[in-house]
């Protein structure tokens, strides 16, 4: 006994020096209601037994049916329990149940939940935000505060009032089985700062909070759910490290603190779990640290406290230790009986019980339960998954991504035309979201390896790797929670440990601690950490690698000896498209999505088009990218985002025009010169003295078009001998269809027809495509390079626009190419895989008038380069001076609204007859195409709009797309969504 007394005295002396003089703490705001009229009135209405009942919080589930509801109602009515802690289920049922339970409760119930990373931790159909370790990587704590505000909104929307969060444990043990990724990290200062930010966001939004797991569960290798962990640190260590975040939270005014089940000899030599220790709960937490808020036990059904402790008695011990709320007591009746007997025996005073109940009631009043009203559930799922809430999740993931290796600043990737890229997703045997998002930027060959991949499969894969000069590896985690382990086959382990380091980027979707278990991984050229594996982390990691987003995250923990806490390389600002939600660019997603969907579906229903692709970008962010309908009316093949369309006259601004602008910057071309300066063939013609600027602005008086194909026919309908044959040969090498081959010299006939075509003396706006048949030859003469090779090398390959191409059937299966018209006049076949425009077809499919094919995404890259005034992907293609010249109105005095090659808004808006939306700026520019396409860029509003369709199927006579005004109506929706 004497030894025990001495030990206790020494311990108390230690506790007296454990905490330095506290800063002035901010008392929890709810305490101002401790002696309010409402609390007084409730206290008067309660029997001693009912008061004890207020200390009890029991588990509730919204997925266990009526029998469970009856059990909860019985506890509420019989024992007047203080609150419910909700676990698995769905939000609508939870709201219904909570409303029912509140109606039956004599004293309003406090509803609590473990929602450390949002409601998704417990409820289906709700959002799971990043785990705290990922949040620990974020530099901007404003985002953590915003998370707190949003989580509070969502929890309150489901009828609850208290979140058992934040986790304030400093995780300095990589093998910690219970905290680990749930902690903000190993740096006590950052853990404290982020815990405070999260707490303040929740409390400012009207939610009660609870810091856990006091006095610090971060340095254990035992899970207190199954056993009692022991922490053998000194008082000084505990004071300086484990307790630090809790002290900061107390100073900041946190509502509650949850006490863990831990054996900490330095704080209590008796070996009691900290939950049952007066030395820890009362002497340390309340007296030394000055905490006056709610003290809540960790779950009283966990084996860390129940081992060797009987139900009821253990609850009494927790109350004696100084706890206010007993969370998930095993047996409410026994707990109340034991505490009631302790009061009768004066082991616990009634005043002490009353003070705790007053504290709980004060918290209820702060949560407005003194004026309780039922929680509505109408459109709850939609509200919980609002665009704002989802955008916050993306923002948090983006801010958390951490680049811990970036040799030669390989991230973001540059000079795409020099890269032959292969991706491997390890741990997932089907094409991943990561791989799909990588493919948004350029052509990539994708492969997958399961965790059990054998040597034979890997050997084959290594041969494929040799064909590529860049390897992007995604290492995935299929578990619900990020495991701190590697579960690869021996062959796969050896493969990962011997990746070709100088040409490999690794995106690591597993628990970052586990990367220390992979030999040589630090030798690769680039490493991105995402902290967990889901569709959003995969998507944004891919965007990071290509510069759609930048990296700012800092490693919140150390990874063995490979990487240290605080490591993290900031990458350059975004250089390519970011694929995101409309709200990220300041647009209303409801307006944008619903109204554009409606307009496209209207066009499909009216058979104006069988299908379409629509892309909208704002501020360089793709906020809508959708495919609609089918390839043709009589088919069930749905349009997907990778399908390519004949873009028709959009070719005019997508092929020779960018080449001419670039050549002008190189002083090899001048738009003020005349056509014969570059094509001597036209010297002495009626077009010789007309400037290219006049021609490109449709100001030259040229004929609109020439039906070249008609010149191939005799009067009896057969083809002239030197025009078209049914089979190919040296003389007839140009394929129009499988049974139509054009004479190799027919291009000269087209040039001759253009040369001989009339020119009007009246120089006013008159649309003509004739020059555009000549421009590829002009570019070839200036550059001494094949035209297609030139535009590929100088634009499409650099942009990563791999589907932006001529003669698509040479690269793609017809199943990927959207058909156009059933041509009964010239080709006598459905047009599929070849250009719709007859003249372009007779140029071998290569013209600047028409001939290009693309999907919306790849075409958008070129258009965004224009919108950026000549730059994209960290490269300048065209000077801003030249682009501004070409995209400006040239002859307004002649009522000509055109730019140089580009279409512009009419000088005066003409309502439904205008070529643009009402709100498109006068500085905007773009082009439309005969097949039903439109691209438009607005530099004032930084908006890009792309619409691809095949309205000419089955016939060009279908003009419903025009009469419905679908394209410009959709364009107007973008501006409406901005407002």
Kindly calculate the radius of gyration of the chain based on its CA atoms and give it in whole angstroms. 35
Tell me the average pLDDT of the chain.
95
What would the pLDDT profile of 725-771 be if each residue is shown by its tens digit? 999 999 999 888 888 999 998 899 999 999 999 999 888 999 999 99
Tell me the mean pLDDT in the region 928-952. Answer: 98
Tell me the mean pLDDT in the region 228-249. Answer: 95
Cα–Cα distance measured from residue 646 to residue 847, given in angstroms and rounded to the nearest whole number: 13
Contacts of 815 (CB under 8 A, 6+ apart): 637
pLDDT of 6 higher than 60: no
Q: So what's the pLDDT on residue 10?
A: 45
pLDDT of 718 higher than 90: no
Q: So what's the pLDDT on residue 5?
A: 45
Q: Distance of CA 181 to CAs 5, 186, 198, Å? A: 41, 11, 16
- Please tell me which residue, 279 or 706, carries the higher pLDDT value: 279
Cα–Cα distance measured from residue 402 to residue 569, given in angstroms and rounded to the nearest whole number: 7
pLDDT of 46 higher than 60: yes
Band of the pLDDT at 306, cuts 50, 70, 90? Answer: confident
The alpha-helical segments, DSSP class H, found in 370-517 are 380-384, 387-400, 433-438, 455-465, 490-497
Q: Are 825 and 915 in contact (CB under 8 A)?
A: no
3-state secondary structure of 286: helix
Q: So what's the pLDDT on residue 83?
A: 98
Q: So what's the pLDDT on residue 475?
A: 98
Cα–Cα distance measured from residue 757 to residue 705, given in angstroms and rounded to the nearest whole number: 9
Q: Distance of CA 509 to CAs 502, 505, 534, 553, 708, Å? A: 21, 13, 8, 15, 58
- The residue among 711, 687, 712 whose CA lies nearest residue 700 is 687
What would the pLDDT profile of 679-695 be if each residue is shown by its tens digit? 999 999 999 989 999 99
Cα–Cα distance measured from residue 794 to residue 661, given in angstroms and rounded to the nearest whole number: 12
User: Under CATH, what is the fold of the domain 22-383?
Assistant: TIM Barrel (3.20.20)
Band of the pLDDT at 21, cuts 50, 70, 90? Answer: very low
What would the pLDDT profile of 477-512 be if each residue is shown by its tens digit? 988 889 899 999 999 999 999 999 999 999 999 999
Band of the pLDDT at 803, cuts 50, 70, 90? Answer: very high
Q: Distance of CA 296 to CAs 102, 270, 277, 319, 367, Å? A: 22, 21, 13, 10, 17
What would the pLDDT profile of 756-768 be if each residue is shown by its tens digit? 999 998 889 999 9
Bridge partners, 622 (sequence order)? 579, 617
Domain ranges of the chain: 22-383, 401-576, 593-978
Contacts of 739 (CB under 8 A, 6+ apart): 726, 727, 829
Cα–Cα distance measured from residue 373 to residue 360, given in angstroms and rounded to the nearest whole number: 19
Q: Are 521 and 493 in contact (CB under 8 A)?
A: no
What would the pLDDT profile of 321-352 be if each residue is shown by its tens digit? 999 999 999 899 999 999 999 999 999 999 99
Q: So what's the pLDDT on residue 440?
A: 98
What would the pLDDT profile of 401-456 be if each residue is shown by its tens digit? 999 999 999 999 999 999 999 999 999 999 999 999 999 999 999 999 999 999 99
Q: Are 558 and 436 in contact (CB under 8 A)?
A: no
Tell me the mean pLDDT in the region 185-207. Answer: 98
- Output the CA torsion sign for 150, 155, 158, 161: negative
User: Under CATH, what is the fold of the domain 401-576?
Assistant: Rossmann fold (3.40.50)
Band of the pLDDT at 15, cuts 50, 70, 90? Answer: low
Q: Distance of CA 558 to CAs 151, 487, 566, 757, 928, Å? A: 29, 21, 8, 75, 55
Bridge partners, 308 (sequence order)? none
Band of the pLDDT at 17, cuts 50, 70, 90? Answer: low
Cα–Cα distance measured from residue 296 to residue 649, given in angstroms and rounded to the nearest whole number: 70
Q: So what's the pLDDT on residue 86?
A: 98
pLDDT of 20 higher than 50: no
What would the pLDDT profile of 873-904 be if each residue is shown by its tens digit? 999 999 999 999 999 999 999 999 999 999 99
Percent of the residues in the chain that have a pLDDT greater than 90, as a whole number: 89
If phi > 0 it is left, if psi is from -120 to 50 it is alpha, else beta; for residue 944 that is beta
- Output the CA torsion sign for 409, 415, 419, 423: positive
Q: So what's the pLDDT on residue 300?
A: 87
Band of the pLDDT at 23, cuts 50, 70, 90? Answer: low
pLDDT of 643 higher than 60: yes
Q: So what's the pLDDT on residue 976?
A: 98
CATH of domain 593-978: 3.40.710.10
pLDDT of 9 higher than 80: no
């Amino acid at each position: 006994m004497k030894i025990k007394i001495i030990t206790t005295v020494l311990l108390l002396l230690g506790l007296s020096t454990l905490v330095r003089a506290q800063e002035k703490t901010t008392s929890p705001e709810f305490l101002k209601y401790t002696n309010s009229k409402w609390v007084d009135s409730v206290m008067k209405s309660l029997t001693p037994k009912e008061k004890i009942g207020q200390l009890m919080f029991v588990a509730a589930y919204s997925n266990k049916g009526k029998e469970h509801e009856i059990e909860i109602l019985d506890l509420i009515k019989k024992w007047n329990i203080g609150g419910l802690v909700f676990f698995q289920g769905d939000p609508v049922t939870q709201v219904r149940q909570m409303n029912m339970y509140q109606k039956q409760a004599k004293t309003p119930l406090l509803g609590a939940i473990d929602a450390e990373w949002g409601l998704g931790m417990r409820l289906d159909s709700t959002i799971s935000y990043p785990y705290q370790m990922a949040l620990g990587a974020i530099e901007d704590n404003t985002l953590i505060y915003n998370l707190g505000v949003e989580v509070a909104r969502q929890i309150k929307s489901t009828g609850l009032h208290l979140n058992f969060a934040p986790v304030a444990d400093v995780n300095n043990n990589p093998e910690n089985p219970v905290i680990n990724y749930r902690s903000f990290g190993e740096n006590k200062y950052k853990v404290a700062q982020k815990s405070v930010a999260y707490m303040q966001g929740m409390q400012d939004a009207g939610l009660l909070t609870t810091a856990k797991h006091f006095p610090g569960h971060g340095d254990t290798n035992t899970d207190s759910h199954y056993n009692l962990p022991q922490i053998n640190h000194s008082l000084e260590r505990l004071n300086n490290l484990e307790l630090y975040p809790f002290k900061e939270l107390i100073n900041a005014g946190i509502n509650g603190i949850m006490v863990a089940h831990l054996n900490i000899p330095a704080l209590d030599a008796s070996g009691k779990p900290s939950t049952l220790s007066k030395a820890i709960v009362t002497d340390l937490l309340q007296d030394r640290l000055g905490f006056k808020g709610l003290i809540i036990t960790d779950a009283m059904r966990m084996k860390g406290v129940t081992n060797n402790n009987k139900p009821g008695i253990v609850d009494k011990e927790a109350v004696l230790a100084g706890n206010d709320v007993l969370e998930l007591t095993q047996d409410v009746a026994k707990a109340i009986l034991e505490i009631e007997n302790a009061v009768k025996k004066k082991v616990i005073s009634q005043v002490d019980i009353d003070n705790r109940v007053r504290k709980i009631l004060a918290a209820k009043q702060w949560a407005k339960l003194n004026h309780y009203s039922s929680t509505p559930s109408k459109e709850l799922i939609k509200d919980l998954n609002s665009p704002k809430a989802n955008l916050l999740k993306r923002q948090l993931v983006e801010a958390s991504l951490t680049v811990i290796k970036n040799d030669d600043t390989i991230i973001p990737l540059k000079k795409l035309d020099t890269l032959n890229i292969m991706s491997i997703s390890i741990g997932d045997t089907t094409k991943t979201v990561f791989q799909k998002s990588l493919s948004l930027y350029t052509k990539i060959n994708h492969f997958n390896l399961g965790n059990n991949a054998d040597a034979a499969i890997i050997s084959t894969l290594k041969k494929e790797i040799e064909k590529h000069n860049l390897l992007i590896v995604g290492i995935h985690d299929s578990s619900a929670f990020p495991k701190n382990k590697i579960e690869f086959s021996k062959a796969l382990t050896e493969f990962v440990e011997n990746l070709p380091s100088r040409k490999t980027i690794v995106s690591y979707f597993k628990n970052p601690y586990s990367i220390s278990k992979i030999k040589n991984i630090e030798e690769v050229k680039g490493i991105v950490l995402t902290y967990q594996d889901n569709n959003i982390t995969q998507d944004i990691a891919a965007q990071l690698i290509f510069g759609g987003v930048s990296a700012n995250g800092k490693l919140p923990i150390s990874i063995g000896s490979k990487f240290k806490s605080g490591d993290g390389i900031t990458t350059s600002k975004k250089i390519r498209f970011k694929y995101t939600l409309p709200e990220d660019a300041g647009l209303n997603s409801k307006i944008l999505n619903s109204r554009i969907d409606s307009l496209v579906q209207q066009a499909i229903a009216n058979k104006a088009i069988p299908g379409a692709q629509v892309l909208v970008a704002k501020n360089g962010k793709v906020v809508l990218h959708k495919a609609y309908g089918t390839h043709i009316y009589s088919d069930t093949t749905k349009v997907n985002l990778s399908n390519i369309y004949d873009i028709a006259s959009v070719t005019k601004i997508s092929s020779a025009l960018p080449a001419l602008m670039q050549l002008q910057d190189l002083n090899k071309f001048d738009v003020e010169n005349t056509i014969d300066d570059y094509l001597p063939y036209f010297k002495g013609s009626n077009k010789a003295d007309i400037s290219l600027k006049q021609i490109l602005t449709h100001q030259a008086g040229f004929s609109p078009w020439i039906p070249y194909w008609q010149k191939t026919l005799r009067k009896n309908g057969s083809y002239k001998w030197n025009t078209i044959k049914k089979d190919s040969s040296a003389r007839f090498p140009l394929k129009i269809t499988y049974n139509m081959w054009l004479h190799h010299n027919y291009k000269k006939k087209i040039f001759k027809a253009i040369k001989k075509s009339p020119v009007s003396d009246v120089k006013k706006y008159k649309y003509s495509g004739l020059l555009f048949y000549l421009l590829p030859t002009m570019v070839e003469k200036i550059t001494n390079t094949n035209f297609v090779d030139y535009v590929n090398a100088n634009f499409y390959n650099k942009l990563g626009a791999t589907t932006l191409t001529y003669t698509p059937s040479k690269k793609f299966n017809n199943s990927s190419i959207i058909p156009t018209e059933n041509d009964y006049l010239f080709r006598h076949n459905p047009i599929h895989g070849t250009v719709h425009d007859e003249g372009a077809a007779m140029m071998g499919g290569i013209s600047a008038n028409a001939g290009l094919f693309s999907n919306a995404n790849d075409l958008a890259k070129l258009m965004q380069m224009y919108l950026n005034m000549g730059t994209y992907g960290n490269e300048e293609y065209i000077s801003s001076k030249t682009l501004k010249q070409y995209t400006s109105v040239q002859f307004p005095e002649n009522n000509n609204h055109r730019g140089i090659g580009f279409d512009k808004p009419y000088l005066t808006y003409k309502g439904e007859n205008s070529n643009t939306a009402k709100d498109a700026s006068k500085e905007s520019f773009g082009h439309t195409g005969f097949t039903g396409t439109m691209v438009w860029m607005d530099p004032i509003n930084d908006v890009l709009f792309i619409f691809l369709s095949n309205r000419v199927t089955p016939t060009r006579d279908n003009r419903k797309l025009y009469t419905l005004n679908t394209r410009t109506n959709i364009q107007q929706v973008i501006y409406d969504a901005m407002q």
